[in-house]
Amino acid sequence: MKNKKMPDFKHLLKDSRDLAQSTLLEELSPTSRLRQVIEYHYSASGSEARGSLCISASLALGLNSKVAIYLSAAVETLHNASLIQDDFQDQDEFRRGQLSVWKKFGSDIAINTTDLLIANAFALAASAAPNSANNLISTMKRAIAVTLQGQTNDLNIDQNLSIDDAILIAKEKSGPFFSLSLELPLVVAGQGEFLDVARQAGASFGIGYQIFDDLHDFDQDKNNGKLSNLSVLSDRTSTKETAEDLALYFLNDAATNAAALPNGCGSLLREKCSKLLSELNREAA
Amino acid sequence: MKNKKMPDFKHLLKDSRDLAQSTLLEELSPTSRLRQVIEYHYSASGSEARGSLCISASLALGLNSKVAIYLSAAVETLHNASLIQDDFQDQDEFRRGQLSVWKKFGSDIAINTTDLLIANAFALAASAAPNSANNLISTMKRAIAVTLQGQTNDLNIDQNLSIDDAILIAKEKSGPFFSLSLELPLVVAGQGEFLDVARQAGASFGIGYQIFDDLHDFDQDKNNGKLSNLSVLSDRTSTKETAEDLALYFLNDAATNAAALPNGCGSLLREKCSKLLSELNREAA
| A111-135 pLDDT per residue, tens | 999 999 999 999 999 999 999 999 9
* % chain A with pLDDT above 70: 88
Going by C-alpha positions, the residue among A234, A173, A227 that lies closest to residue A205 is A173
**What is the average per-residue pLDDT within A165-176?**
92
Per CB-CB distance under 8 Å, the chain B contacts of A123 are 137-138, 141
Helices B107-128 + B163-188 axis angle, to 10: 40
Distance CA A106, CA B119 (A): 24
In chain A, residues with a C-beta closer than 8 Å to the C-beta of B122 are 119, 122, 137, 140-141
Q: Is A252 part of the contact surface with chain B (CB cutoff 8 Å)? A: no
Contacts of B115 in chain A (CB under 8 A): 81, 85, 114-115, 118, 144, 148
pLDDT, residue B3, reads 43
Neighbours of B171 (CB within 10 A): 20
Q: How far apart are CA A165 and CA A266, in angstroms?
A: 28
For residue B137, the number of C-alpha atoms closer than 13 Å in the C-beta half-sphere is 36
- Taking the C-alpha atoms of residue B199 and residue B180, their distance in angstroms, rounded to an integer, is 8
| A89/B108 Cβ within 8 A | yes
Task: Give the Cβ contact number of residue B103 at 10 Å.
Answer: 17
pLDDT for B8: 83
Number of A to B CB contacts under 8 A, please give it: 140
The per-residue pLDDT for A240 is 60
Q: Which domains does chain A have, with CATH numbers?
A: 1-128 (1.10.600.10), 133-285 (1.10.600.10)
Check B33 against A153: CB less than 8 A apart: yes
Best mutation target, B101, B104, B117, B152, to test chain A (most A CBs within 10 A): B152
* pLDDT of amino acid A243: 82
Residues of B in contact with A148 (CB under 8 A): 34, 112, 115-116
Provide the phi-psi class of B156: left if phi over 0, else alpha when psi is between -120 and 50, else beta: alpha
| Separation between Cα atoms, residue B196 and residue B193, nearest integer Å | 7
pLDDT < 50 positions in chain B? 1-7
The total of other beta-carbon atoms located within 10 Å of residue B89's CB is: 19
Per the model's pLDDT, the better-predicted residue between B246 and A198 turns out to be A198
Q: How many CB atoms lie within 10 A of CB B98?
A: 13
- Cβ neighbour number for residue A107 with a 10 Å cutoff: 17
Count the alpha carbons within 13 Å of B240 in the hemisphere toward its beta carbon: 12
**More confident position, B172 or A162:** B172
Distance CA A10, CA A252 (A): 27
If phi > 0 it is left, if psi is from -120 to 50 it is alpha, else beta; for residue A157 that is beta
pLDDT of residue B6: 46
Burial per residue of A263-278, b for 16 or more beta-carbon CB atoms within 10 angstroms, e otherwise: bebbbbbbebbeebbe
- Chain B residues with CB-CB distance to A115 below 8 A: 81, 85, 114-115, 118, 144, 148
CA B158 to chain centre: 26
Handedness of CA A133, A137, A138, A143 (dihedral sign): positive
A130 chain-B contacts, CB cut-off 8 A: 133-134
**Which ipTM value was assigned to this complex?**
0.94
User: Among A146-150, A224-228, B89-93, B105-109, whose mean pLDDT is lowest?
Assistant: A224-228
Mean pLDDT of A75-88: 97
Q: In which region does residue B235 sit, left (phi positive, over 0), alpha (psi from -120 to 50) or beta (all else)?
A: alpha
In whole numbers, what is the pLDDT of chain A averaged over residues? 90
The predicted pLDDT at position B225 comes to: 67
d(CA A37, CA A34): 5
User: From CA B78, how far away is CA B143, in angstroms rounded?
Assistant: 10
Which of the pair, A213 or B85, is modelled with greater confidence? B85
Given an 8 Å threshold on Cβ–Cβ distance, is B137 in contact with A123?
yes
Model pTM score: 0.94
Higher pLDDT, A28 or B228: A28
Note the pLDDT of residue A1: 42
Q: Greater confidence, B251 or A166? A: B251
pLDDT for the residue B161: 81
User: Is the Cβ pair A145, B89 closer than 8 Å?
Assistant: no
